[in-house]
Amino acid sequence: MTSIDPNQPATKIRALFISDLHFGYRGVDTAALLDCLKSYSPQRIYLVGDIIDGWKLSKRWFWTAGYTHVLDALVDHRRRGAKIIYLPGNHDERVRHINIIDRAKFSMQAGLKITNTAIHTTKLGKKLIVLHGDQFDNVLLRGRLSKLSDWFFETLTDFFDFVRPTPLVIVDGKPKKFSLAKALVKKSGKMAFRMLGTLERRVVRLIRNRQLDGLICGHTHLPKIKMLRRKYLFGNCGVWMGYTNTAIIETLDGTVELVRWPDMRATQTCIPASEAVHIARNYETALIIRRIRRLWPSRKGGVEEAKEATS
């Protein structure tokens, strides 16, 4: 764990992995996130999914000036030469379904690469697969590994970059999208432990089958760096909700580590979409916000209704 002196110039690093920003959800610590983005000068930035909380945004528009500033900071990094790779998650899964031509056009204009999985090679030559992690949800829900479904998953993801739709669970007789992060908080300790055990076994299998050295994901909101079976690196970026603000970095000498930021949350005021676009410093940021608005058009304005509970 590294502590950061705010007066230091940006530290050069090979890669920065962040996930689960959940823009659209109240409670995102954009101040800490901005501080983190300004503290580093990465060659590559991996946005490891659930960057936009489309589930929330499609119900009600919620945006703060901080979100726009974070996007601006990312665009600044890109303009300085950083490569930005965006791996959508289940909360921003609509990005996965943007058709191929539109995706290519948008990627070029916004200056980011959109893909479901990526391979990051560290300075030491280790190959790490990077993906959001909801790809494992079906297995976790079933609780058991089936060889056939594993083969199916691997074939589909390898050849078609395919991602299964978010699994549904029945709550009060109605189908609801399954959220692993929520389930892990709600389930009893033993149950959560078992689910995480299943996840790790599944991760080992994926790494081994593809002859890689590790995997970096997000999704569970539980920050982690550990070695599985003493040889496979498993990293989880965590979440930016104040109480835990974490990211994974690869330093210039090839060390992969977890970094943590203090809680810097301030009062959050919802601003209308027009203002969100207007305050953007970079035209790419404005373009991205307009795209977000098109992907998740909410009927409710949100400004007057900003008191919504964060359930």
Contacts (CB under 5 A) with Mn ion, residues 88-117: 89-90
Nearer to Mn ion among residue 39 and residue 157 (C-beta):
157
Nearer to Mn ion among residue 167 and residue 301 (C-beta):
167
Nearer to Mn ion among residue 50 and residue 200 (C-beta):
50
53 binds Mn ion (CB under 5 A): no
Q: Which stretch binds Mn ion (CB under 5 A): 37-45, 81-89, 189-197, 253-261?
A: 81-89
Alpha helices, H only, the chain: 30-39, 54-57, 65-79, 100-110, 137-142, 147-160, 180-186, 189-209, 273-278, 283-295
Q: Which stretch binds Mn ion (CB under 5 A): 94-102, 122-130, 163-171, 212-220?
A: 212-220
Q: Give CA–CA dist 51/23, Å, rounded.
A: 6
Residues 6+ apart with CB under 8 A from 242: 27, 29, 32, 263, 264, 265
Q: How many residues bind Mn ion (CB under 5 A)?
A: 4
236 binds Mn ion (CB under 5 A): no
Nearer to Mn ion among residue 111 and residue 235 (C-beta):
235
Cβ-contact 300, 58 below 8 angstroms: no
Q: Give CA–CA dist 126/155, Å, rounded.
A: 23
219 binds Mn ion (CB under 5 A): yes
**Shortest CB 27 distance to Mn ion, Å:** 16
DSSP state of 228: E
Residues in the chain: 311
Interface map 170-209 toward Mn ion (x if CB under 5 A): ----------------------------------------
Return the SS3 of 36. helix
Q: For residue 211, count other CB atoms closer than 10 A to its CB.
A: 7
Nearer to Mn ion among residue 36 and residue 131 (C-beta):
131
Q: Which stretch binds Mn ion (CB under 5 A): 28-36, 48-56, 104-112, 250-258?
A: 48-56
Cβ-contact 47, 70 below 8 angstroms: no
Q: Which stretch binds Mn ion (CB under 5 A): 62-70, 137-145, 218-226, 261-269?
A: 218-226
Q: List residues near Mn ion by CB under 5 A.
A: 50, 89-90, 219
